[in-house]
Chain A
Amino acid sequence: MRYLPLTPADRQDMLQRIGVSSIDQLFTDVPEAARLDGPVGLPAYQTELQVERALSKLAGENTAASSVPFFVGAGAYKHHVPATVDHLIQRSEFLTAYTPYQPEISQGTLQTLFEFQTQVALMTGMDVANASMYDGSTACAEAVLMAARVTKRKKAVLAGSLHPHYAETTRTSAKYLDIDIASTDPDPGGLSGIAEAIDDETACVVIQTPDVFGRLHDLTDISEKAHAHGALVIAVFTEPVSLGLVKSPGEMGADIAVGEGQGIGVGLNFGGPYVGLFACKNDRNFIRNLPGRLAGETVDADGRRGYVLTLSTREQHIRRDKATSNICTNSGLCALAFTIHMTLLGEKGLTTLAQLNHETACDLADRLGAIEGVDLLTDTFFNEFALRLTRPAADVVDALVDKGVLGGVPASRLYPGGGLDDVLIVAATETNTPEDLAAFETALREVLA
């Protein structure tokens, strides 16, 4: 019990000071029938070495992304994270702090959140951002609920090429609030049907760019149409690195921009923890309808600039059943990792990183698109694209594993029964070497031959 400082003698002394004779007497409020007698039926403690061995064995049964040519994306991306990032987030004062409820001794967390909010607002071309959400999918769902609150309308239109997990998360969040969620068909080729779906009852349209097939969309025209009908445009992204190279949601007229921040500073982690980004215009009472935490600037009693959590009157601990959302946390440590990585990159580094991602993906698209029986479905993309194969993509991916290549996500995994069985979604990043690209090309040729 190396984490427990009390000695048996301490426990005796303390029980005596409390005035009871045994620990059981502290549990007398627990009804007899609810008490557990005897052991709970789980293994006994293990030493540090034993635990390390057991978990290392489990970890060893997985194929780490860095150990193979790796091209899996569709919502989470393999990027290199500088060593400094992990060192800094493991500093005790960041890692083991709580929510900054006492601002005088939490300025480290609060200032970095303020920096995070500013970076996210700048990257998305928005006026303000919050202090992060659980992940991109829940940020997307909260954005739709916010649009419904702001417009007082109950209809949302989702693009079919919005990541299906994001669409399902949004449907779940809205299903008991009588918000009607319509969705266009998934279309690796474009955004068909979206413009036609907007009418005067539409609260928002939700479009991902780059979308789940990797395709980039210019939202300018859709934004104009949506605004003419009084609807909001929610731009979604799953790859934050793309914002270093492509037009921001704000430039294209979006009102709310939400997305996954994992690609900057946060590892793959098998799906979590990630960091949801949430930004919006400073318009139509948006700020008071924002879900989640916000850090704000103020001064202390000596007039020195400092930061606090603010506008908490929107939140559950004040408004309870009238709160903007039930969320009471953020993804603080991941937001910190994002901010540190972003600070190391700076504009220059982000732009270069984005360019490298794009060039690597273009090279890969050229190589794979030239293989007989492979059709490149995505003509405009950032670092991810879709291919149509002559065989079910799931089988191809499976066969590629045996050749030591993790070659993307079969669209059928995201759209079962969606008629996209022969579509493969492939991502490339700065971590892919020319040798990786060659290995993928060779392996795919062999599998399709």
Chain B
Amino acid sequence: MSMNTQGRPTRIEHDIDPGGYETLSGSRGLDQAEPLLFERGSLDVSGVDLPTPKGGPNRLGGMKREGPIGLPGLAEPEAMRHYVRLSRKNYAIDLGLYPLGSCTMKHNPRLNEKMARLPGFADIHPLQPEKTVQGAYKLIEELAHWLMVLTNTPAVAMSPKAGAHGELCGMMAIRAALDARGETGRRRVLVPESAHGTNPATAVQCGFFTDEIPADKTGRVDMEAFKAKLGDDVAGIMLTNPNTCGLFERDIKEIADLIHEAGGYFYCDGANFNAIVGRVRPGDLGIDAMHINLHKTFSTPHGGGGPGSGPTVFSEALAPFAPLPFVVKTADGAELKMAENLSDVDGSGARPFGRLTAFHGQMGMFTRALTYMMSHGSDGLKQASEDAVLNANYILARLKDVMTPAFEGTCMHEALFDDRFLKDTGVTTLDFAKAMIDEGYHPMTMYFPLVVHGAMLIEPTETESKSGLDRFCDVLLGLAEAASAGEADRFKAAPIHAPMRRLDETRAARQPVLRWTPTADDLQAAE
């Protein structure tokens, strides 16, 4: 062992290739192998203590289950280890930069979690008597107020349970408004090429068909193509702004005016609202409906893929069609109540298109989002948007001479590159991403938006420091250099420092195995 001048050990000399042998257990030190719970648990083990049932007669009317279910249990210490070990095989925003473009992985404040767990919010039932949940209704009203002020819109539907659900909410309101006008011929929805895949899927679910608008050389809606597509069969446009190329649609007011003149409505996909909060109010742009991903803009945690929350704001024109339920004042104005049924809104002018879900929406997310908003306040929200944009442009500035920006000029909250800088290196966008894993980073979004070849979309968010961004940029520049220097093999092998090597996704799709099933040996052992 050699020592450096401070007397600390620096390197252990050994003869064994550290990656060259498999351990007996399959674990690698702190990276511990973990079988499925079905291979470790047992049908007669439980990790909870419950009172002993009395037994005796039942009122199941002969519908009692007879055979075993086959669900193994783990004692509490075993369950703790099982899930803690598994958790350690995940990357997370609390571990490092998570630059997934269009996904907005910002810091998740723990105050949000604490507030959402107050028994007065977490431990109340959606159908308990209304006079016992007035505080909850007030919270929903308060959050709705913030959303309407930030967007300058007169109405918001709180019940959509995710961003795509919010899209469905907005497009259904558009469909209902067209039907109310008797316009049964308007079924074409214009969708830019760069749209999120949910946009076309949503339009179709509302009985529309989609018509793509190409992007121009600057990455924005091609205005000539857009104008050429307007006609009396157009129901509306679904436009993301800032768009998925990380750019503000400069012509957005003209787009709004033209679609309205043509008799259609303007749906704005608000997935990227986090770039403009406090600086631009979508209501001022002429939108008719826009969902807001609370998880992206207002920091509710993504939890490995959900739950989300997608409140949808509406213009005057669409407000009457907002779905049930929504909070209203009681007749005497003394209390709040939830309008659950058509009979609750008789005579109010409301013409809700229906109900999108049981109950009132994602209360747990509402609490978190409002906590975040109050912690920032008006100015802080604006500062957050500005810092998100500043950080993205800083990355663009630091990388643009080596990696290839997809478009010229500044960007909004995310910087888009393409794969031209990897040309002739033998390294693909995917290889480059996997090499980032070995460097301790979650890769950026790859191959999206589809309009850019080999797209790499980097969204740092406002919660990254300058020094953190510098380290990240240094790594990307280093990797780009390694790719240019002909080190393709290293990229092809990546990742080698992750819990798993590259996984065979084709095999998973061709021979789907979607659940554990006992093997013949397991069954024999059980007997």
Taken together as a complex, chains A and B put the C-alpha atoms of A94 and B280 apart, in Å, by: 34
Contact A166 B358 (CB under 8 A): yes
Q: Which residue of A lies closest to B44 (CB)?
A: A348
Partner of B499 from the list A99, A104, A137 (CB cut-off 8 Å) is A104
A67–B88 Cα distance when bound, in Å, is 37
User: Which of A30, A60, A244 is in CB contact (< 8 Å) with B69?
Assistant: A244
Q: Which residues of A contact B61 (CB under 8 A)?
A: 216, 218, 379-380
Q: For A43, A115, A171, which residue has the most chain B Cβ atoms within 10 angstroms? A: A115
Assess the A332–B303 pair: CB atoms within 8 A.
yes
- Tell me which of A23, A62, A111 contacts B136 (CB under 8 A): A62
> Distance (Å) between the CB of B162 and the closest chain A CB?
5
Q: How far is the CA of A61 from the CA of B136 in the complex (A)?
A: 8
Contacts of A135 in B (CB 8 A): 161, 357-359
Q: Are B90 and A115 in contact (CB under 8 A)?
A: no
* Interface residue ranges of A243-259 to B (CB < 8 Å): 243-248, 251
What are the interface flags for A51-66 relative to B under an 8 Å C-beta threshold, 1 for contact and 0 otherwise?
A: 1101111111111111
A183: interface (CB < 8 Å): no
- Residues from chain B with a CB closer than 8 A to the CB of A306 are 500, 503
How near does chain B come to A132, taking the closest CB pair, in angstroms?
A: 8
Of the listed stretches A150-158, A198-206, A323-331, name the one at the interface; the rest are far from the partner chain: A323-331
Tally of A interface residues using CB under 8 Å: 206
Contact A313 B509 (CB under 8 A): yes
- The CA-CA distance from A301 to B498 in the complex, in Å, is 12
Binds A, one of B70-78, B258-266, B416-424: B70-78
Whether A40 contacts B390 by the Cβ 8 Å rule is no
Q: A42-B149, A302-B501, A321-B201 are in contact. Are A271 and B276 (CB under 8 A)?
A: no
Interface flags for A127-157 (1: CB within 8 Å of B; 0: not) read 1110110111110000000000000000000
B495-526 toward A: CB 8 Å interface, digit per residue (1/0)? 10011111111011100111110000000000
Count chain B CB atoms within 10 A of each CB in A90, A166, A340 and give the residue with the most: A340
Please name all residues of chain A whose beta carbon is closer than 8 Å to the beta carbon of B236 when the two chains form the complex: none
Given contacts A94-B304, A123-B71, A413-B127, whether A58 and B120 have CB atoms under 8 Å apart is: yes
Contact of B136 with A29 in the complex, beta carbons under 8 Å = no
Q: Is B2 an interface residue (CB 8 A)?
A: no
Interface centre among A33, A118, A350 (most CB of B within 10 A): A118
Cβ of B389 within 8 Å of any chain A Cβ, yes or no, is yes
Is the beta-carbon distance between B201 and A97 smaller than 8 angstroms?
no
Cβ-defined partner of A326 (8 Å) among B167, B309, B364, B410? B167
- Which residues on the B side are within 8 Å of A216 (C-beta)? 60-61, 63
CB-CB under 8 A from A348, the residues of chain B are: 43-46, 73
Whole-angstrom distance between the Cβ of B270 and the nearest chain A Cβ? 15
A5, B165: Cβ atoms under 8 Å?
Answer: no
- Interface Cβ pair total, 8 Å cutoff: 711
Question: With A and B bound together, what is the CA distance between A245 and B64 in angstroms?
Answer: 6
Choose among A4, A48, A72 the residue with the greatest number of B CB atoms under 10 Å from its CB. A4
Task: Give chain B interface residues in 383-428, CB to chain A under 8 Å.
Answer: 383-384, 386-387, 389-391, 393-394, 396-398, 409-410, 412
Q: Could you tell me if B305 and A109 are in contact, using CB atoms closer than 8 angstroms?
A: yes
Contact B514 A294 (CB under 8 A): yes
Q: Does A285 contact B (CB under 8 A)?
A: no
Is the pair A107, B307 in contact by a Cβ cutoff of 8 Å?
A: no
Q: Mark A313-324, 1 if CB is under 8 A from B, else 0.
A: 101111111110
Residues of chain B contacted by A26 (CB below 8 angstroms): 386, 389-390, 393, 410
Q: In whole angstroms, what is the CA distance A327 to B160 when docked?
A: 12
**Chain A residues near B168 (CB-CB < 8 A):** 326
Whether B285 sits at the interface, judged by CB under 8 Å, is yes
A93-B90, A304-B500 known; A317 and B71 CB under 8 Å? no
Which A residues are CB-close (under 8 A) to B391? 6, 14
Contact check, B198 vs A326: say whether CB atoms are below 8 A apart: yes
Chain A, range 176-223, C-beta contacts under 8 Å to B: 176-178, 216, 218
* 3 cross-chain pairs, A with B, having the tightest CB-CB distances, nearest first: A346-B73, A59-B120, A333-B303
- List 28 contacting pairs A-B, 8 Å CB cutoff, sorted by A: A4-B387, A5-B466, A6-B391, A52-B115, A54-B374, A62-B132, A76-B125, A97-B303, A99-B304, A115-B38, A123-B71, A137-B357, A268-B122, A270-B124, A270-B359, A272-B307, A272-B361, A273-B161, A295-B514, A297-B514, A306-B503, A310-B508, A312-B509, A346-B45, A348-B43, A349-B73, A352-B50, A413-B127
A-B contact sample (5 more), CB < 8 A, given A176-B206, A272-B309, A315-B197: A36-B280, A114-B515, A168-B324, A271-B361, A308-B505
